């Protein structure tokens, strides 16, 4: 606000002061929400469409902080742990939601508006975001894992990919593709990290009957199931995978597959939309898909992850924040994206109603696979033998971020040939044991 330059009469001053006070009043009546968001295509679209929300709610202004996943996690954790209240809405994952809810860091997502239709939100996704029977975040997009393969190469080699392949079949196909198909037989995550190679490996271990811990919180990383699974993985990638597989994460494999260098790839369902987009992928018309492969049990063979919106207890604007979170995860928002970008690009996996849309089924041939994978991924029943934790591709305790990554680094080392699988698992076992002993889990 500018000061008047000309000398003013007392009356004028009073009027001016009054209008200034009014102006500042109306300014403070508008609520500003700061949203900590992840840099991914779905979130960028949300940011782009958010002015529609601001128009509907003229008293709410949105402020965005967009960051990369690991930076975001560190930034948001610092803020929430110091109760700073810099953020009103945070994007968090299935791993954080129950842990943070347990610590009392999040507002429960109750008293939602009548037209929100919570039962339309996929149940496994809701379960993954709940703690003690209460929901603490609303899913913005949900992903599971599945198998992608090259239809053209399969038919050329006379192979058929079943809808539900087994890992034994995958190994045979990888061999054939590498030897006769002129491509790397299979691409898998090798980069170390609890959310990188360990996400895939945990599903492989689950389906082979293994688990991270037994009921008494003793790690089972040196068990035969782990040895079998990790041995299989290292052997498969060393023989038929791309060179330098131990540094490949989601993006590297996406590039390899999209540029036609991989015959098969098992990874996040979110890749389907990218591989089918001819602007980003040279194999858009040649991609086939199947469920994530299984071993001795289908339990825990595909993961479940959702990026969700939550409201930290430190926020002073719970009501406005809840209004925004509901809008961003509503049926109307999905329709808004469909109108702007087309149905292929709507946030996947959150609502059953999305999958009932004939336009979506037509535009996204992978839709039913994705929904099926998400609905069958149960974070509370992901292993053959009983476990004391929840989570499919992770262990839902705060210590997991650290020891999960240490185990990931040992296995990545084995994949690179720096150490043996046995030595890697022995080191992993010791790291996991240390973490749970220090955390006081073992009774």
Partner 1 sequence: MSVAHSRLRYGITTAVAWSLAILVFFPIFWMMITSFKTEEQAYQLSVIFQPTLQSFREVFARSDYLSFAGNSIAISLGVTLLSLLLAIPAAYSMAFFPGPRTQKILLWMMSTKMMPSVGVLLPVYLLWKNSGLLDTVSGLIIIYTLINLPIAVWMAFTYFCEVPKEILEAARIDGANTWQEIFHLLLPMSLPGLASTGLLLLILSWNEAFWSINLSSSHAAPLTVFIASYSSPEGLFWAKLSAASLLAVAPIMVLGWLAQKQLVRGLTFGAVK
| Continuous segment of H or E residues that includes residue 258 | helix 250-258
Among 24, 56, 247, 259, binds partner 1 (CB under 8 A): 259
Q: What is the C-alpha to C-alpha distance for residues 85 and 207, in angstroms, rounded to an integer?
A: 42
As measured in angstroms, the least distance from the Cβ of 325 to partner 1 is 18
Among 50, 99, 274, 430, binds partner 1 (CB under 8 A): 274
CB burial readout 152-180, b (16+ within 10 A) else e:
ebbeeeebebeeebebebbbebbbbbbee
| Count of residues that interact with partner 1, criterion CB under 8 A | 42
Task: Restricting to residues 79-108, name those near partner 1 by CB under 8 A.
Answer: 81-82, 84, 86-87
Number of residues that this document lists for the chain? 443
Instruction: Rank residues 68 and 381 by Cβ distance to partner 1 and give the closer one.
Output: 68
Check residue 113 for interaction with partner 1 (CB under 8 A). no
Which residues, in sequence order, are bridge partners of residue 268?
Answer: 145
Task: Restricting to residues 22-81, name those near partner 1 by CB under 8 A.
Answer: 34, 36, 38-41, 44, 47-48, 63-71, 74-75, 78, 81
- What are the structure tokens assigned to 52, written together? 């529609």
DSSP assignments along 31-95, one per residue: EEEEEEEE-SHHHHHHHHHHHHHHHH-TTEEEEEEEE-HHHHHHHHHHHHHTT----SEEEE-TT
Check residue 249 for interaction with partner 1 (CB under 8 A). yes
61 sits in the region (left: phi over 0; alpha: psi -120 to 50; else beta) called: beta
Binding mask 277-306 vs partner 1 (x if CB under 8 A, - otherwise)? --xxxx------------------------
Task: Restricting to residues 175-204, name those near partner 1 by CB under 8 A.
Answer: 195
Sequence-distant (≥ 6) Cβ neighbours of residue 27 within 8 angstroms: none
Check residue 398 for interaction with partner 1 (CB under 8 A). no
Q: What is the C-alpha to C-alpha distance for residues 273 and 281, in angstroms, rounded to an integer?
A: 10
Check residue 135 for interaction with partner 1 (CB under 8 A). no
Binding mask 355-394 vs partner 1 (x if CB under 8 A, - otherwise)? ----------------------------------------
Check residue 258 for interaction with partner 1 (CB under 8 A). yes
Q: What is the C-alpha to C-alpha distance for residues 56 and 70, in angstroms, rounded to an integer?
A: 33
Instruction: Rank residues 15 and 71 by Cβ distance to partner 1 and give the closer one.
Output: 71
Question: What residue ranges bind partner 1 (CB under 8 A)?
Answer: 34, 36, 38-41, 44, 47-48, 63-71, 74-75, 78, 81-82, 84, 86-87, 195, 249-251, 254-255, 258-259, 268, 270-271, 274, 279-282
């Amino acid at each position: 606000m500018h000061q008047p330059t000309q000398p003013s009469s007392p009356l004028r001053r009073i009027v001016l002061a009054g209008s200034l006070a009014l102006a500042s009043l109306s300014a403070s009546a508008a609520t500003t929400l700061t949203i900590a968001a992840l840099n991914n295509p779905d979130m960028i679209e949300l940011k782009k469409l958010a002015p529609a929300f601001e128009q509907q709610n003229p008293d709410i202004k949105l402020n965005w902080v967009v960051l990369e996943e690991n930076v975001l996690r560190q930034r948001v954790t610092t803020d929430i742990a110091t109760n700073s209240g810099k953020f009103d809405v945070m994007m968090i994952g299935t791993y954080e939601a129950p842990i943070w809810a347990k610590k009392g860091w999040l507002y429960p997502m109750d008293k939602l508006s009548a037209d929100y239709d919570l039962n339309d939100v996929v149940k496994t996704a809701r379960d993954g975001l709940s703690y003690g029977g209460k929901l603490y975040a609303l899913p913005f997009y949900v992903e599971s894992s599945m198998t992608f393969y090259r239809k053209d190469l399969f038919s050329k080699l006379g192979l058929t990919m079943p809808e539900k392949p087994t890992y034994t079949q995958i190994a045979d196909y990888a061999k054939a593709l590498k030897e006769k198909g002129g491509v790397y037989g299979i691409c898998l995550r090798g980069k170390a990290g609890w959310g990188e190679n360990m996400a895939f490996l945990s599903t492989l271990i689950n389906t082979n009957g293994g688990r991270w811990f037994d009921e008494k919180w003793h790690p089972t990383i040196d068990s035969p199931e782990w040895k079998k699974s990790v041995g299989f993985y290292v052997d498969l990638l060393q023989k038929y995978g791309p060179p330098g597989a131990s540094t490949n994460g989601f993006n590297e494999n996406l590039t390899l597959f999209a540029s036609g260098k991989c015959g098969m790839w098992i990874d996040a369902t979110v890749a389907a939309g990218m591989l089918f987009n001819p602007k980003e992928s040279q194999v858009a018309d040649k991609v086939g898909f199947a469920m994530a492969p299984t071993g001795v049990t289908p339990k825990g063979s595909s993961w479940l992850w959702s990026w969700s919106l939550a409201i930290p207890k430190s926020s002073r604007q719970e009501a406005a924040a809840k209004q925004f979170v509901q809008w961003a995860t509503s049926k109307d928002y999905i329709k808004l994206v469909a109108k702007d970008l087309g149905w292929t690009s709507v946030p996947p996996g959150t609502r059953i109603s999305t999958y009932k849309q004939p336009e979506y089924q037509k535009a996204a041939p992978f839709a039913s696979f994705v929904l099926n994978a998400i609905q069958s991924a149960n974070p509370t029943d992901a292993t053959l033998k009983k476990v004391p934790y929840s989570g499919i591709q992770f262990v839902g305790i705060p210590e997991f971020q650290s020891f999960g990554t240490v185990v990931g680094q040992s296995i990545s080392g084995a994949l690179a040939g720096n150490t043996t699988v046995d030595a890697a698992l022995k080191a992993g076992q010791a790291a996991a044991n240390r973490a749970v002993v220090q955390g006081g889990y073992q009774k």
